[in-house]
Structure 1
Amino acid sequence: MATDVHGAVTPTPSEDHSAAVRVSGLSRTFDGRRVIDGLELTVRPGEFVALLGRSGCGKSTLLKILAGLDRDIQGTALVPRRKATAFQAPRLMPWKRVWRNVLLGLPGKPERALAERALAEVGLDHRVDAWPKTLSGGEAQRASLARALVREPDLLLLDEPFGALDALTRIKAQRLVGELWQRRGCAVLLVTHDVEEAVLLADRVLVMDDGVIAHETRIDLPRPRDISDPGFGELRAQLLDRLGVEAPTATPVPAA
C-alpha cells in the first residue's frame, strides 16, 4: 500500500507497482503566494528522476511534502511507506558516534551490525566509531546516505546532497549515488541546480517553473555516461536553454 503525506493508508495505482510517486493537483501556499500550483508528477518504481529549476521555484518544497515534512497542502501526494531523505546538510548529531547516527530514528533497538553494513556500502566502514566532527564533508555526506539506505527505502529523496562539497568530492559522491541506485533498485528523486549532474545521473530530467513541471527530458544515453559525449553536451545545452542560461562555449586555444 502507498501512503499519503498525512500518513493515512490510501488505495492507489501504486498497489500494482505502476508508480513509486503519484502527485495530482498538488498546491502549497505561503503567505498568500502559491509556490506549488496544481502540480502533477509520477515517478515509476526504480526510476531515477532529477528535478531542476530556478531558486524559489518550489523544488525543495515539493521534496519536503513527499518526505512528509510539510503537510499543509491541497491535492494528493502518494508515496511508498518506506522512504528516506538526504539533505545538503548531513544533519548528524555531534554527540553520537557515526554508527549511532546511522540508526537514529529507526524503531525498536536495531543492532550495530545494521549500521556497519550500511556504512560499508558507502565506503565508511573504517569510520564506524568516529565522532561526526572528525569527518570530512564527503564522509559526513556518505554517513547521511548510509542513514537513508539503512531504512531500505523504496523511494530515496535527495535535496541538493552534493551542494556543499568541493568539485572532486562531488564527483566521487555522484558516482557513489549512481552505483547505490543501480544496486538497490529504489526510485530516486534528486533536487539539484546542476544540469550536468542531472544528465549524468537521471533517467528523466524535469524542469520546475511557476509551481508546475514545465518541461521533461528523457535521458537515453548509455551508462556509465561520459560528459565529453556529444549527445551529453546537446542534452545539457537544451536544458540550460530551457532554464534561460546560455551554455558555455569552448575558449579557443591560442596557437603556439
Structure 2
Amino acid sequence: MATDVHGPVSPMVTQAVHVEGLSRSFDGRAVIDDLRLGIAPGEFVALLGRSGCGKSTLLRILAGLDRDIKGTALVPRRRAVAFQPTPLMPWKKVWRNVLLGLPGKPERGLAQRALDEVGLGHRVDAWPKTLSGGEVQRVSLARALVREPDLLLLDEPFGALDALTRIKAQRLVGELWQRRGCAVLLVTHDVEEALVLADRVLVMDGGRIAHEQRIDLDRPREITDPRFAALRAGLLARLGVDTAAEAA
C-alpha cells in the first residue's frame, strides 16, 4: 500500500503536485477514489465539480490538513492556503493577522510588504472588524504570500464577494500569480472564473478527475470571445447544465 507523503517534491518528479492512487473515505463512503493529479511548477489549475464531489477534501489533503488517506500526495513544503470565509483574529491588527502562524518572530515589515503587494498597505494597523469583504480576502492573500509558497491553494476564495469586488479580486490573483510564478490550485463553482484565470480546468466527478480542458486563450481573457463562450458551454455541459435551456 502506498503511503501519504507531504513534503518536498522528489527531484525525480518534475511537478509541483504529484498525486497517485489517492483515496479518502468518510464513514465508509469514498469521497476521493483512486485519484490521479499532476500540476506543473508555475501552472494555474482550476478545479470544478458539483457540491460534495470532493474538491475541498482534495485541497485539504494537499494543504496537509487531512492525512487519513490512502495513496500518495507529493507537494512542496512551502505551500499556503486561502479559504472562504477567511478566519481573522478580531483582537489582532491586520499586520499581526498576516504573520499569524509563521515560525519565530517575523518582523512587521514582512507583513507590510505583503499588504503593499495586494494593495492594502494603508490598512496595516486596522482592526479586522473595520475591513470590507474584499479587504478581508486581500488580507488572506497577503497571509499566503508571506510564506513564499511554491504552491498556492485557493478554496472558493471569492464566493462571498459581490460581483464587482469579485472581478477585482480575480484580477488581483491573476496578477499575483504571474508576478510570483508559483503553482496555483483554485477550487471554484464559477466556470467563468476558472476560464478567466486558469491554464487548465479540471472537472471532478465520482471522486476522480473526470475531464481536463486546457485553456489556450490569450490573456487577459474576454468573456465575449466566441472561443471563451464555447469553452464555457462545454464545461457547463460536463457539470450537467443545459446551456440551451439556460439561454431560453
Using structure 1 for the length normalisation, give the TM-score.
Answer: 0.93
SS at match of 2:243: coil
1:228 alignment counterpart:
224
CA deviation after TM superposition for structure 1 residue 118, in Å = 0.1
1:61 alignment counterpart:
57
Counterpart of 1:40 (choices 25, 36, 39) is 36
For the 8 Å contact 2:5–2:72, the answer to whether it is kept is: no
The amino acid across from 1:103 in the alignment is: L
CA deviation after TM superposition for structure 1 residue 12, in Å = 5.5
Distance 2:9 2:51 in 1: 33
Superimposed CA distance per residue, residues 104-139 of structure 1 (whole angstroms, 9 cap, x where no aligned partner): 011111110000000000000110000001000000
Question: How big is the alpha-carbon RMSD for the aligned residues of Structure 1 and Structure 2?
Answer: 1.4
**1:178 corresponds to 2:174:** yes
2:99 alignment counterpart:
103
2:12 alignment counterpart:
13
1:191 alignment counterpart:
187
For the 8 Å contact 1:199–1:236, the answer to whether it is kept is: yes
**1:144 corresponds to 2:136:** no
For the 8 Å contact 2:17–2:74, the answer to whether it is kept is: yes
SS at match of 1:214: strand
Superimposed CA distance per residue, residues 178-230 of structure 1 (whole angstroms, 9 cap, x where no aligned partner): 00000000000000000000001000000000000000000000000001110
Distance change in 2, residues 1:10/1:43 (3 Å)? closer
Which runs of structure 1 show a deviation greater than 4 angstroms over 4 or more consecutive aligned residues? Answer: 4-10, 248-251
The unaligned stretches of length 5 or more in structure 1 are 252-256
**1:164 corresponds to 2:160:** yes
Counterpart of 2:197 (choices 184, 191, 201) is 201
Distance 2:36 2:214 in 1: 17
Superimposed CA distance per residue, residues 78-118 of structure 1 (whole angstroms, 9 cap, x where no aligned partner): 00010000001111111100000000011111110000000
Distance 1:246 1:8 in 2: 42
SS at match of 2:56: helix
Distance 2:178 2:208 in 1: 28
Counterpart of 1:92 (choices 79, 88, 107) is 88
SS at match of 1:117: helix
The unaligned stretches of length 5 or more in structure 2 are none
SS at match of 2:72: strand
CA deviation after TM superposition for structure 1 residue 11, in Å = 3.7
Distance 2:10 2:36 in 1: 18
For the 8 Å contact 1:5–1:67, the answer to whether it is kept is: no
**1:75 corresponds to 2:74:** no
For the 8 Å contact 2:83–2:157, the answer to whether it is kept is: yes
Superimposed CA distance per residue, residues 60-79 of structure 1 (whole angstroms, 9 cap, x where no aligned partner): 00000000000000000000
Counterpart of 1:115 (choices 88, 111, 115) is 111
Give the number of equivalent residue pairs: 245
Using structure 2 for the length normalisation, give the TM-score.
Answer: 0.96
The amino acid across from 2:12 in the alignment is: P
**1:23 corresponds to 2:19:** yes
For the 8 Å contact 1:6–1:71, the answer to whether it is kept is: no
1:247 alignment counterpart:
243
Distance 2:111 2:10 in 1: 33
For the 8 Å contact 2:7–2:76, the answer to whether it is kept is: no
